[in-house]
Structure 1
Amino acid sequence: MPSVSSAASDSGRPVSSSLWRDVDFRRLWTGQTASQLGEHVSLVVVPLFAVLTLHASAGQLGVLRAVGQAPILLLSLFVGAWVDRWRTRTTMVLTDVGRAVALGAAAVAGLLGWLGLPALVALAFAVGALSVFFDVAYQASLVRLVERGQLVRGNSALEGSRSAAQIGGPALGGALVSLLSAPIAAASSALFFALSFLSIRRIRRDESMPKRPEHPPRVWQRIHEGLRFVAGDTVLRTVCLASAAFQFSFAAVMTVYLLFLPRELHLSGTVVGLALTAAGPGALLGSLLAARLPSRFGHGTVLVCAAALGDGVFLCVPALRGSSGVTVAVLLAVGFVFGCGGQLVNVTVMAVRQAVTPDGMQGRAAATVTFVGMGLTPLGSLVGGFLAEEWGLRTSLLVTAAGMMLSPVVMALSPLARLGREL
């Protein structure tokens, strides 16, 4: 089915000034929204079920989260090498099917009373592995579908879809676990992945695939090329270091945070979901601002300021006491500011990375940045669980939140902070 854009380039990419006039871009955006909503529901359902129903300890929750994040470390580089040779549409629809089947099976197991902690661990790993494929593929897909001049607007729209998922996902997941059951919550996630599959599979435009050499290099060689490219670029190297500092600390923070809210502040699952949801509207605002602020104040300035504000606001949380309305209001404000700052950083960094990376290296560059930046998240989750058991929830939350401030410091001391209005 042809695009409704008024014209197209020789590569099949739209040249219309409005991305929203392009049918295939809208299908990608719709599928991305549904897929991210399913993912954010599952990211809340699994740990909350472990904490509220199975009464998991801090150490067990740390292990559960670490297993779900382990595929980032184990698979990212291989996935990047493969995605550069595959059609991203095919990758995304297959991973949607896989996650729908995995969560559907978990729903059935839960209804039969078989959904224990070992099953949750296996589910977390399976969904996490498939999500690595989807995330790398969708980051590479936009470059193959639109002109480079439309990347910032396209990324803003796609990240906006992720923000929309953050608005509904945590609240829906928390409410379903608290009011109904984990199996129903898992089934809802499976439904969203099925909707994503139906939307993305309808994309008809041929992707602008990099030309394959007559004798393509082996996978390890392609991985090495991606690592060498990112390591040799000052901007991308800094992005990796800042991302690693943030993701390690944030993984530790979330392990403690998911225990701190119900056990220290005595909040219900529904209120916990609401507190997590507050990042969604903030992220939506961050996506809108990301389409304007970098071109006005400079990409480097936006990155440093947004990271400092979004990460620093978590330092307020350990001071909260009880489950009063003031506590809930502060948590909502913290989530909103964190979501806004974090999304500004995400969209801006993605535009920077895509702008400095050749088409044939997009998948590997995205995977390398993901591998280095998020590869430490399993260790961060384990550290968060260990600190919570040894130091207590309040002290551990303060220490891990302070660790997130390393990310804006790294960016401020690097050439990344000097990036101007134009990439």
Structure 2
Amino acid sequence: MPPASSDVSDSGRPVPASLWRDGDFRRLWVGQTASQLGEQASLLVLPLLAVLTLDAGAGQVGVLRAVGQAPVLLLSLLAGAWVDRWRTRTVMVLADAGRALTLGAAAVAGLLGGLGLPALLVVAFAVGALSVFFDVAYQASLVGLVERDQLVRGNSALEGSRSAAQMAGPALGGAVVSLLSAPVAAASGALFFALSFLSLRRIRRTESVPERSEGAPRVWRRIHEGLRFVAAESALRTVCLASAAFQFSYAATTTVYLLFLPRELHLSGTVVGLALAATGPGALLGSMLAARLPGRFGHGPVLVSAAVLGDGAFLWVPALHGSSAVTVPALLAVGFVFGTGGQLVNVTVMAVRQAVTPDGMQGRATATITFVGMGLTPLGSLLGGALAAEWGARTSLLVTAAGMLLSPALIALSPLARLGRALPEHL
């Protein structure tokens, strides 16, 4: 039975009275939620396993995180060019299958006693590479499923599920590592990716792709077209710069944070997972607010205020000492505020990016922003590990957290800060 609809769009496609009545959107939402659960769990399991089980040092943790983030720098632009030439659903299901097999193999290696640091590096790189393709594809896929005026609501729903994954994934990963074993933790991530694979394969709507002809641009030319488009569009150019500043500092901050919690505050793996999971409820709130606040106060003011609120929250963490009754609630509060502000920024920026980008450029625009915005994260992780080894975790955490405030400063000085209530076509 076709989804209930109350209108027909200019493109002739039925517009559901509610996104939740659209079966294909629900399948995308379920698949993306399961995928994010697997990804968030694995992001915590690997470094936490290195710290608590393999007794990895600060430099080794930085290297492990850098290896997992390196595919963003190496593969984002290529992923964007491929996504614009293939069905996004095909890219997503293949990425899910690959990640499920990779983590499944890690679970088997762990059961056989072979899951050491070299194996973790291989797994981190493989999962990171496949995640790059999945993330570019799922962001581009929404444009083909909903109408322009539904982008904010659609992104709010998808980012809300990502928020829930940020809450449940780290908590699950930390608990499984602490209570069971690393192989079981790896297996749980593989199961989530398998669930995503099954859900996304059930999407029924036919997705059109550009025809491939002998005269079609080569991959590198298509990558160049994406880079040139983003560079020429002031809104996207600002998003790239602000994202790069944030992601670099955040990668350094997170590396130090993962050392600071167990070693300076003496928190267990379960509590560390809960501290990281606190961003989930905040991000869920941020997703709901993002569906309302930009239309009421303007996209620009929401972007600036949310970025300052979220990024500034981590400045309180270096003041904490010991595993006292105050420390854990304070960490939960910091995570909640960071998640709320960060998600407000994510959803609002995503809607702006989708609105100003033509359909045939969605994958490459997403990939270019990912490449520029997150390409420096491996260097940030290495810097965080190096600073922690040289200065200690507390001082390093204060320095790297302060660096995160460069991102809202760049937004405040750009045309993005002046965006009104309506989504722009270009700036």
Q: TM-score, normalised by structure 1?
A: 0.98
What is the CA distance between 1:176 and its match in structure 2? 0.5
What is the CA distance between 1:148 and its match in structure 2? 1.0
What is the CA distance between 1:17 and its match in structure 2? 3.0
CA shift in 2, pair 1:416/1:206, >3 Å: same
CA shift in 2, pair 1:214/1:152, >3 Å: farther
Residue of structure 2 equivalent to 1:49: 49
AA partner of residue 366 (structure 1): T
CA shift in 2, pair 1:346/1:213, >3 Å: farther
Q: SS at the partner of 1:206?
A: coil
What is the CA distance between 1:6 and its match in structure 2? 5.9
What is the CA distance between 1:43 and its match in structure 2? 0.5
What is the CA distance between 1:163 and its match in structure 2? 0.7
Contact 1:210 1:359 in 2 (8 A): no
Residue of structure 2 equivalent to 1:328: 328
AA partner of residue 237 (structure 1): R
Say if 2:59 is the partner of 1:59: yes
Contact 2:4 2:16 in 1 (8 A): no
What is the CA distance between 1:215 and its match in structure 2? 2.0
Provide Cα deviations, 1:51-100, integer angstroms capped at 9, x if missing partner.
00000000000000000000000000010001001001111111100000
Provide Cα deviations, 1:215-262, integer angstroms capped at 9, x if missing partner.
210001100000000000111000000000000000000000000000
Contact 1:12 1:206 in 2 (8 A): no
AA partner of residue 346 (structure 2): N
AA partner of residue 15 (structure 2): V
Residue of structure 2 equivalent to 1:19: 19
AA partner of residue 370 (structure 2): T
What is the CA distance between 1:7 and its match in structure 2? 6.2
Q: SS at the partner of 1:267?
A: coil
Residue of structure 2 equivalent to 1:256: 256
AA partner of residue 110 (structure 2): G
Contact 1:14 1:145 in 2 (8 A): no
CA distance in 2, matches of 1:8, 1:62: 51
CA distance in 2, matches of 1:238, 1:209: 29
Residue of structure 1 equivalent to 2:301: 301
Residue of structure 2 equivalent to 1:35: 35
Residue of structure 1 equivalent to 2:391: 391
Residue of structure 1 equivalent to 2:287: 287
What is the CA distance between 1:8 and its match in structure 2? 5.7
Contact 1:3 1:205 in 2 (8 A): no
Residue of structure 1 equivalent to 2:102: 102
What is the CA distance between 1:5 and its match in structure 2? 4.0
CA shift in 2, pair 1:14/1:43, >3 Å: farther
CA distance in 1, matches of 2:207, 2:286: 29
CA distance in 2, matches of 1:159, 1:148: 17
Residue of structure 2 equivalent to 1:218: 218
Residue of structure 2 equivalent to 1:359: 359
Q: TM-score, normalised by structure 2?
A: 0.97
Contact 2:96 2:193 in 1 (8 A): yes
Say if 2:118 is the partner of 1:118: yes
Contact 1:312 1:402 in 2 (8 A): yes
CA distance in 2, matches of 1:62, 1:226: 31
Q: SS at the partner of 2:326?
A: helix
- Where does 1:113-262 land on structure 2 (aligned, <5 Å)? 113-210=113-210, 215-262=215-262
Contact 1:245 1:406 in 2 (8 A): yes
Provide Cα deviations, 1:3-55, integer angstroms capped at 9, x if missing partner.
45466658574412311110000000000000000000000100000000000
CA distance in 1, matches of 2:7, 2:418: 37
CA distance in 2, matches of 1:309, 1:94: 38
Contact 2:227 2:365 in 1 (8 A): yes
Provide Cα deviations, 1:366-407, integer angstroms capped at 9, x if missing partner.
000000000000000000000000000000000000000000
CA shift in 2, pair 1:298/1:211, >3 Å: farther
Contact 1:4 1:23 in 2 (8 A): no
Contact 2:93 2:200 in 1 (8 A): yes
What is the CA distance between 1:324 and its match in structure 2? 1.1
AA partner of residue 309 (structure 1): L
Moved more, 174-183 or 11-20: 11-20
Residue of structure 2 equivalent to 1:268: 268
Provide Cα deviations, 1:175-197, integer angstroms capped at 9, x if missing partner.
10011111101000000000001
Provide Cα deviations, 1:106-151, integer angstroms capped at 9, x if missing partner.
0010111100000000000000000000000000000011111111
CA shift in 2, pair 1:14/1:164, >3 Å: farther
Q: SS at the partner of 1:342?
A: helix
Residue of structure 2 equivalent to 1:312: 312
Q: SS at the partner of 1:15?
A: strand
Residue of structure 2 equivalent to 1:419: 419
Contact 2:4 2:17 in 1 (8 A): no
Q: SS at the partner of 2:367?
A: helix
CA distance in 1, matches of 2:255, 2:175: 20
Residue of structure 1 equivalent to 2:89: 89
The answer for unaligned runs of 5 or more in structure 1 is none
Contact 1:35 1:193 in 2 (8 A): yes
CA distance in 2, matches of 1:115, 1:353: 41
AA partner of residue 40 (structure 1): Q
Q: SS at the partner of 1:325?
A: coil
Following TM superposition, the consecutive aligned residue runs of length 4 or more in structure 1 with deviations greater than 3 angstroms are: 1-14, 208-214
AA partner of residue 242 (structure 1): A
CA distance in 2, matches of 1:342, 1:212: 39
Aligned length: 423
